[in-house]
Amino acid sequence: MRGARSWLLLAGACCLSCGGAQPDPASPATGSSTEPSKSEAAEDNSASLAEFRSKLAAGLGGVTELNLAAKGLGPALGPLLAESKDVAMLTSLDVSDNDLGTDGACALAGSARLSALRELDLGGNDIGDEGALAVAHAAALAGLETLNLSGNSIAGSGASALAQATAAHLSSLDLSMNSIGSAGVSALAQTHLPLESLYLLGCEVGASAVTELAQSTHMTKLKVLALSGNGVGDSGAQALAKSTTLGALTTLDLCANGIGDAGALALAQSKNFKHLKIIELYGNDIGSKGAAALQKRFGVRLHL
């Protein structure tokens, strides 16, 4: 699940095609493969908060998936949904890009009616650390499996709270386009969450934090790691290449990270990555020597 804002910001910042739908690994690359899969929830056609309030009052007809993305309905959408009896049926909710802010997010997270939710998209709502804290510790959201919080002005403290979230089954977390920095990544490296997909595009991470992530013993289930636009550099790439705990990875996104031949050669010569199906290295500083080594190692799995 994903809000539109973070991907537009990332595209503008990196001038890449990162964030596209995942292609068949055996097919020629047509764009990045690291966007989380998005449920096909029926989109609500309400044009205003008043119109949606009327529809909600009449009942949602037992729908289990609700898509309210990019409507700009404002903070009042949070308490409106939180107080509705019909949301108790929802397993998937997309309220990305609605200007919820901290108040709207906290109201939504405080609802006791959302225990059936498995997918929640709050991308692009400027919820901040306070909103992230509310989501992280919301009792009714303990069953979440997929959470998108991209583009939400979340910093290290918000990421730290999410690393300790009550959602014990959370397998996919997207914090792209939030300045969580090294402190946020350090917390995530110690998380108890059973993460299989972690999206950290444009999070101001840096090489040292990536090294900590690469050495984490809590990331053994991780299959997708997206790190575009984070200043990973050669040292970060070398740390990932040496990692003995990221053996389950099937997709690794290192686009626009200032990686040169040294990092490329380390990735190509790594004894790990045995399950890797896609490795993305668009927009780096890799020369012919590094490119040749990568091509020899990864073949069609390489997007360069």
Is residue 231 pLDDT above 80, yes or no? yes
Tallying the residues shown for the chain, one arrives at 304
pLDDT over threshold 50, residue 8: no
Instruction: Give the SS3 label for residue 147.
Output: strand
30 pLDDT more than 70: no
Q: How many angstroms from the chain centroid is the CA of residue 197? A: 8
Return the pLDDT at 133: 98
What mean pLDDT comes out for the span 130-147? 98
> What pTM was computed for the model?
0.90
* CB-side neighbour CA atoms (13 Å) of 195: 30
Examine the pLDDT at 302 and tell me if it is beyond 80: yes
For all residues of the chain together, what is the average pLDDT? Answer: 90
pLDDT tens digit sequence for 166-187: 999 999 999 999 999 999 999 9
105 or 16, which is more confident? 105
Specify the DSSP class assigned to residue 116. Answer: T
Sheet holding 251-253, edge to edge: 65-67, 92-94, 119-121, 146-148, 172-174, 197-199, 224-226, 251-253, 278-280, 302-303
pLDDT band, residue 44 (cuts 50/70/90): confident
* Overall average pLDDT of the 122-151 stretch: 98
Instruction: Say how far apart CA 134 and CA 137 lie, in whole Å.
Output: 5
Q: Could you tell me the pLDDT band of residue 142, with boundaries at 50, 70 and 90?
A: very high
Residue 21: pLDDT band with limits 50, 70, 90: very low
Per-residue confidence at 24, pLDDT binned at 50, 70, 90? very low
- Whether residue 237 is predicted with pLDDT greater than 50 in this model: the reply is yes
pLDDT of residue 45: 87
Assign 148 to helix, strand or coil: strand
For residue 52, pLDDT over 70 is answered with: yes
pLDDT at residue 38, rounded to an integer: 57
